[in-house]
Amino acid sequence: MNLILLGPPGAGKGTQSQELAARRGLIQLSTGEMLRAAVKAGTEIGRKAEAVMKSGGLVSDDIVIGIIADRIDQPDCAKGFILDGFPRTLAQAAALDRLLVSKTRKLDGVIEMRVDDAALVDRISGRSACAKCGAGYHDSHKRPKTAGVCDVCGSTEFTRRADDNAETVGKRLMAYYRETSPLIGYYFAKGVLHTVDGMAPIGEVTKQIEGVLKSLAAA
Ligand code: AMP
């Protein structure tokens, strides 16, 4: 099954993608994660992307389309993938359509996570992730079961993203509304859009998404 999780920064796309990946054996493809890894490794892509990411803008379509085109060709994606943070522009969505056709694969569904704008800044500013395995946490909504210890791998090191600050969040939200929110209409018109209540508790959102996936499997 090939899915897109769509929603503004802080909607919970990463959390729900990790959950779905664990439950269903799908591969989570987060362009944000891939770009952060490229920045850390100091690759050419990383060098091109770093300043834009820090400012809260969008990295060029060519770069992210290239990253995804290479990644979905890898054998671990054969069973299916969840796109988290891609596509983010209409040009990326059109490129994804072409890419999937060329690989005789299809998009099974797009899940829009709808959230109140007012909640996003709080959600983003409390985020952290395990430095070792990348599992995501939140200071008030998703704490590790044992304080300071990752639930997944037991590591005691956590990181916070450089762009998760109040100043950059405003720009990221602007980029979402200007560039990404038109994708809701794009996928609605294609008949593949499903909306869940991203304001519900994490477990409830997962249930709603599972409900969508069951309806897709039955269709
Ligand atoms: P994310 O982890 O999805 O919030 O992405 C972090 C940052 O990476 C974004 O603010 C953008 O600068 C960049 N980025 C991630 N995915 C994309 C994409 N599909 N198109 C353009 N920029 C992206």
Ligand 1 atom nearest to CA at 168? 10
Question: How far, in Å, CA of 196 to CA of 215, rounded?
Answer: 13
What is the per-residue pLDDT across 93-138, written as a single tens digit (0 to 9) for each? Answer: 999 999 999 999 999 999 999 999 888 888 888 899 999 998 999 9
Split at pLDDT 50, 70, 90, the class of 219 is confident
pLDDT at 119: 87
Q: Is the predicted pLDDT of residue 28 greater than 90, yes or no?
A: yes
Write down the catalytic residue from 142, 143, 161, 171. 161
| 86 within ligand 1 shell (Cβ under 6 A) | yes
**Which of these ranges, 16-20, 85-89, 114-118, 192-196, has the smallest mean pLDDT?**
114-118
CA of 150 to the centre of ligand 1 (A): 25
Question: How far, in Å, CA of 18 to CA of 206, rounded?
Answer: 11
**Taking residues 35-41, what's their average pLDDT?**
95
- Dihedral through CA 63, CA 68, CA 74, CA 78, nearest 10? -170
| 59 within ligand 1 shell (Cβ under 6 A) | yes
Q: Is the predicted pLDDT of residue 186 greater than 90, yes or no?
A: yes
pLDDT at 209: 97
pTM: 0.91
What is the per-residue pLDDT across 136-184, written as a single tens digit (0 to 9) for each? Answer: 999 988 999 999 999 999 999 999 988 888 888 889 999 999 999 999 9
Task: Measure Cα distances from 194 to 67, 81, 108 in Å.
Answer: 26, 17, 11
